[in-house]
Structure 1
Amino acid sequence: MNLFADFEQRIRQSVEALLRTMEAGEVDLSRITVEPPRDASHGDLATNAAMVLAKPLGQKPRDLAERIAEGLRADPDVAAVEIAGPGFINLRLHPQVWTRHLGAILAAGTDYGRGEPTGRKVNVEYVSANPTGPLHVGHCRGAVVGDSIANLLAFAGDAVTKEYYINDAGEQVNVLARSVYLRYREALGEPIGDIPAGLYPGDYLKTVGSALSIRYGRDLLAQDESEWLPLVKSYAIAAMMMSIRDDLRALAIQQDVFFSEKTLHEGNGGRITAIIDDLRGKGFVYQGTLPPPKGQLPDDWEDREQTLLRSTEVGDDVDRPLVKSDGSYTYFAADVAYFADKFARGFDEMVYVLGADHGGYVKRLEAVARAVSGGAAQSDVVLCQLVKLFRNGEPVKMSKRAGEFVTLADVVQEVGRDAVRFMMLFRKSDAPLDFDFQKVTEQSKDNPVFYVQYAHARSRSIVRQAAAEGMDVSALDRVDAATLERLTDEGELGLVRKLAEYPRLVQSAAQAKEPHRLAFFLYDVASAFHAQYNRGKDHPELRFVKPDDAKTTAARLGLVQAVAFVIASGLDLVGVSAPEEMR
């Protein structure tokens, strides 16, 4: 089903035959690639075979390219082979190759491009916001990116678990509990004055405080903080996680696992202690001192012996502290134990989708993976840059409910899930994103989500038009090969070529953890489809529906159906609906 992978295999076989005649012995062919040429006028496929093999074989790239090309010309599906530049090989395929591939797309339907099971287990952790307030627009981008990465990996053949790490240990949840307790007193009619510095001021906690007053009445007022704090903390975390789950559902996101950090600390940090002891036995944990930070020393700097992870031996910049001066475990120690827990669950790869302010985590998490798994599992960190909100070019003000930021719920409520999800991917995740409420709701080519969804709706409209003309549209996924060969227009074949890139695109986007590639691809498919539709306005003989030519119409409707399959599949992977019609 992956035409590019098919021809890559053919080219390797042709090269192997050539190497036997050269008596070249063992040569690494893994670097040979086949991809669409950057300039479509250069052909259908391009390979770097001669470029990557010239040096190992002691040949000039262009001379080697000529010898490889000679073998490729014997392939019955290859119409022409041309050498370009210093030794790139461009191939042109016979039109029947494309119409035959179109038949394969129709037979596969929305499963076109789906990879075979790889046997790999991948954990994708994303969002993982502190349960101290509503999700904001920054969390929104990470949520969409993480969910789309997980969908891509699953479609490519991996067994994927979507996970949320609840940061329910540490001082921030104690601050949350004290903030909720203040709102609890307020709900009982006590004057609380201004919110003290250091507590969370958002109005969203009023609801939690009010619910707490209904549950406990005035009982908590008579208790010392040591008594009410654990009760309020547990209640507040549960309430905030319920709110977070609701926000995620608004984005059609539902994680498989919600992992509590608190469980790592239970039993006096038993699970953290166990992994530290294990790493100590492997020589990765030791007692030592760290050099002072570069530049001006912070006021609280102390040169003391402490428990350290020897992470510099596995790729980190510095060794990392595991125990604080008060004897409690560092946040990093919990990270180590959390990775160990994932590894124990059998995952081969752990993907972390984090905000751009977590750039320092990349090397340390990679180091943790090497130390804990001995190289058997890997860590991959995806960073998401900030999102700036605008309305008609003017910055959007903060949310009244949250008090400090614009919430995810505010954004979804105003423009809808589809616009939010697609536009959060219409820029590479490590680049800043400007999100304009006005532009993402426009019905124009300048609004990518509308343009792509409209392409799918248009495909359905064309089929409905054909049915209204009395044509049989019940078997568009089974158009025979001879009928599909009626597609001879360059615009039609060009559209098939674009659809043929989908399996390769899914595989590369999944491997690189870059779902923006899929959003860009869908826009390109929509552009090619709309362009071919518009050509039919100027040239009636190119219209998709020709009532006086049932065979040609059947072939073109097959092409329309294939476009719909690919767009629907791609939109599903990014969590966006594929509408049957748009008004």
Structure 2
Amino acid sequence: MNLFSDIRGVVIAALDQMAEAGELPAALDYGNVTVEPPRDAAHGDMATNAAMVLAKPAGMKPRDIADKLAARLIDDRITSAEVAGPGFLNLRLSPDVWRQVVAGALQSGADFGRSTAGAGNKVNVEFVSANPTGPMHVGHVRGAVFGDALASLLDFAGHEVTREYYINDGGAQVDVLARSAYERYREANGLEPQIAEGLYPGDYLIGVGEELKAKYGDSLIDKPEADWLADIREFATRAMMAMIGEDLAMLGVKMDVYSSEKALFGTGKIEAAIDRLKSAGLIYRGTLEPPKGKLPDDWEPREQLLFKSTEFGDDQDRPIQKSDGDWTYFAPDIAYHYDKIERGYDQLIDVLGADHGGYVKRVQSAVKALSNGRVPLDVKLIQLVKLFKNGEPFKMSKRAGTFVTLRDVVEQAGADVTRFHMLTRKNDAALDFDFAKVLEQSKDNPVWYVQYANARVHSVLRKAAEMGVDVSDTALAGADLTRLDHEAELDLARKVAEWPRLVEHAARAHEPHRVAFFLYDIASNLHSLWNRGNDDTSLRFVQDGDKDTTAAKIALARAVGVVISSGLGILGVNPVEEMR
């Protein structure tokens, strides 16, 4: 039930009538025609840009199109169509339309706002993908929350979504992990660990060392590295991935697929991906220009195997194999994305840290080349999180040795609060996380403000039930909603009507923070109506002695609750029914 989409359909039908009557050229593209809430509510209930976007291709003045379009917008739901400015068309709808939205929300329940826009579209969302060398840190929290919420949003919009974690277990960092774990193994055997510079010093590896002792006893002590490196690397990697899984579970994140970088080597998968590019004439041997800032005598030109990424918008061609025959780090990344394409995904999304900005064009070029442009790749970069407490930079116990862990943050703030606040800014904007502010009970704390609105909804439901009102969604949907006749009540119903549109737009833009913003707005509208009831008793949700009017008003409150519960569900936040 997307009222804005329905009214857009009315506009498109009127444009078709104009074309049939010779008032518009035939075969115009209506793709950019929108129907949306006006910037100023005083201008009406909806606005369409049809005349503005069609004027140039039609060779007509916007107001001439708008005047003719207004005359053809004949629909029981539309009470007026007014031309404004250079050619915008403002629409006013019958109050019954908004009452029907309330009933529709209750009839649909948890499915209100769900869309079929993504039906048949398979999307892979790869996120977190932290190196398996230790527990997740605060920098991973935001990416984990963003990726999980984006996956939920896309699912709500009808897409078939896979959450995927790419285990970076093919590089030198896992050898460093193995050496670090070996020192903890020595420690478990009563020896002094030698945590040399470059090793991982966190005490999270102490337990791994003890597990290694339980498995190997002292049999590996003083053995050459070649005898134990491979086994301990595999053992420690599994242990770290188990720890990462526990961290993700604390945030309520569950992956569908774990893919291994190491599994790409020696299996022919890298070679297959490169051969795919070779067959398209996109691989050649050549020498790159020196990096910016390098003087000629600082640069030793080497012939390498290169990918023609510049043909797809990259700044320069990219090496995939070194002069000594080893693959560059980019080669397994190409193979990994080729594997996802081969698995039949229609769209790929990578959620990466802000330090990967220089990586975006090259990987998008590879995906475009490997899929013949069929599969788009959207790379979402996640900016840093700065921790504060009462406005001052805040440092907690660093159990990891060098950084603040995800576990530290969640134990301090809770999973629900952490998740919501990580989505109060767009992913590419820096975010401040103040432990005092995220827990305070005030309008300035978005998660508390939204949860308080949901608790108020359930409070009036309980009060109405106590006076004998049937507060089931089915009964409330059948209430006499004509009793919702105050403009403030209809305004709240208008906000409810925006939810399905918001879902589709947020999903299309891959921006789950829009859901958090919308929830704050609708909560604000509910609180405003509640507060007006303090002065005007006719606006109170529960009307003593009047079950019919109470049922209508409770229906409106419950519709808001439906939206809030669904929105919080997308964000991965548990809605509360009572504030404590």
Aligned partner of 1:164 in structure 2 is 165
Aligned partner of 1:318 in structure 2 is 316
Please give the per-residue CA displacement for 1:390-430, whole angstroms capped at 9, x wherever unaligned.
Answer: 01111111533112111110000111001000000001110
Please give the per-residue CA displacement for 1:122-164, whole angstroms capped at 9, x wherever unaligned.
Answer: 0000000001111011100000000011001111011000000
Does the alignment pair 1:41 with 2:42? yes
Q: What is the number of equivalent residue pairs in this alignment? A: 578
**In the alignment, is the contact (CA less than 8 A) between 1:103 and 1:478 conserved in 2?**
no
Q: Which runs of 5+ in 2 are unaligned?
A: none
- Rounded to whole Å, the distance in 1 between the matches of 2:10 and 2:361 is 39
Q: 2:507 pairs with 505, 510, 527, which one?
A: 510
Aligned partner of 1:181 in structure 2 is 182
Q: 2:291 pairs with 281, 293, 296, which one?
A: 293
**In the alignment, is the contact (CA less than 8 A) between 1:107 and 1:478 conserved in 2?**
no
- Rounded to whole Å, the distance in 2 between the matches of 1:62 and 1:484 is 38
**How is 1:35-434 mapped onto 2 (pairs within 5 angstroms)?**
35-72=36-73, 74-116=74-116, 118-192=119-193, 195-267=195-267, 270-297=268-295, 301-434=299-432
Aligned partner of 2:555 in structure 1 is 558
- Rounded to whole Å, the distance in 2 between the matches of 1:349 and 1:153 is 11
TM-superposed deviation, 1:458: 1.1
Does the alignment pair 1:539 with 2:536? yes
- Rounded to whole Å, the distance in 1 between the matches of 2:89 and 2:250 is 49
Q: Considering only aligned residues, what root-mean-square deviation do their CA atoms show, in Å?
A: 1.4
In structure 1, what residue type is equivalent to 2:441?
A: Q
Please give the per-residue CA displacement for 1:311-356, whole angstroms capped at 9, x wherever unaligned.
Answer: 1112211111111233211111111100110011100111000011
Larger displacement relative to structure 2 (332-341 or 295-304): 295-304
TM-superposed deviation, 1:172: 0.5
**In the alignment, is the contact (CA less than 8 A) between 1:106 and 1:478 conserved in 2?**
no
Matched residue SS, 1:579: coil
Please give the per-residue CA displacement for 1:68-112, whole angstroms capped at 9, x wherever unaligned.
Answer: 11111x222111111122111110101011111211111100110
- Rounded to whole Å, the distance in 2 between the matches of 1:225 and 1:551 is 80
- Rounded to whole Å, the distance in 1 between the matches of 2:429 and 2:514 is 14
- Rounded to whole Å, the distance in 2 between the matches of 1:300 and 1:182 is 38
Please give the per-residue CA displacement for 1:490-514, whole angstroms capped at 9, x wherever unaligned.
Answer: 1111111111111111111111111
**In the alignment, is the contact (CA less than 8 A) between 1:109 and 1:477 conserved in 2?**
no
**In the alignment, is the contact (CA less than 8 A) between 1:454 and 1:582 conserved in 2?**
yes
In structure 1, what residue type is equivalent to 2:198?
A: G
Larger displacement relative to structure 2 (430-439 or 75-84): 75-84
TM-superposed deviation, 1:297: 4.3
TM-superposed deviation, 1:470: 2.7
- Rounded to whole Å, the distance in 1 between the matches of 2:5 and 2:288 is 50
Matched residue SS, 1:76: coil
**In the alignment, is the contact (CA less than 8 A) between 2:287 and 2:303 conserved in 1?**
yes
TM-superposed deviation, 1:299: 8.4
Matched residue SS, 2:278: helix
Larger displacement relative to structure 2 (296-305 or 520-529): 296-305
**In the alignment, is the contact (CA less than 8 A) between 1:476 and 1:554 conserved in 2?**
no
In structure 2, what residue type is equivalent to 1:536?
A: G
- Rounded to whole Å, the distance in 2 between the matches of 1:103 and 1:557 is 11
Matched residue SS, 2:81: strand
TM-superposed deviation, 1:301: 3.8
Please give the per-residue CA displacement for 1:156-195, whole angstroms capped at 9, x wherever unaligned.
Answer: 01100000000001100001100111111112111235x2
Matched residue SS, 1:389: strand
TM-superposed deviation, 1:476: 3.2
Matched residue SS, 1:360: helix
- Rounded to whole Å, the distance in 1 between the matches of 2:192 and 2:12 is 78
Distance 1:560 1:299, change over 3 A: farther
**In the alignment, is the contact (CA less than 8 A) between 1:106 and 1:477 conserved in 2?**
yes
Q: If the length of structure 1 is used for normalisation, what is the TM-score?
A: 0.97
Matched residue SS, 2:191: coil
Distance 1:77 1:481, change over 3 A: farther
Does the alignment pair 1:521 with 2:518? yes
- Rounded to whole Å, the distance in 1 between the matches of 2:297 and 2:541 is 73
Matched residue SS, 2:220: helix
In structure 2, what residue type is equivalent to 1:523?
A: Y
**In the alignment, is the contact (CA less than 8 A) between 1:135 and 1:408 conserved in 2?**
yes
Matched residue SS, 2:103: helix
**Structure 1 outlier segments of 4+, above 6 Å:** none
Q: If the length of structure 2 is used for normalisation, what is the TM-score?
A: 0.97
**In the alignment, is the contact (CA less than 8 A) between 1:476 and 1:557 conserved in 2?**
no
**How is 1:448-527 mapped onto 2 (pairs within 5 angstroms)?**
448-473=446-471, 475-479=472-476, 483-527=480-524
Distance 1:301 1:169, change over 3 A: farther
In structure 1, what residue type is equivalent to 2:282?
A: F
**In the alignment, is the contact (CA less than 8 A) between 1:100 and 1:481 conserved in 2?**
no
**In the alignment, is the contact (CA less than 8 A) between 1:99 and 1:481 conserved in 2?**
no
TM-superposed deviation, 1:480: 5.1
**In the alignment, is the contact (CA less than 8 A) between 2:470 and 2:476 conserved in 1?**
no
TM-superposed deviation, 1:478: 3.8
Larger displacement relative to structure 2 (108-117 or 349-358): 108-117
TM-superposed deviation, 1:533: 1.0
Larger displacement relative to structure 2 (224-233 or 198-207): 198-207
Distance 1:300 1:4, change over 3 A: same
Please give the per-residue CA displacement for 1:268-311, whole angstroms capped at 9, x wherever unaligned.
Answer: xx210111122111111111111111222498742121111111
**In the alignment, is the contact (CA less than 8 A) between 1:37 and 1:43 conserved in 2?**
yes
- Rounded to whole Å, the distance in 2 between the matches of 1:298 and 1:349 is 42
Matched residue SS, 1:308: strand
Q: Which runs of 5+ in 1 are unaligned?
A: none
**In the alignment, is the contact (CA less than 8 A) between 2:450 and 2:519 conserved in 1?**
yes
**In the alignment, is the contact (CA less than 8 A) between 2:479 and 2:551 conserved in 1?**
no
Aligned partner of 2:29 in structure 1 is 28
Matched residue SS, 1:79: strand
Does the alignment pair 1:576 with 2:577? no
Identity %: 57
Matched residue SS, 1:322: strand
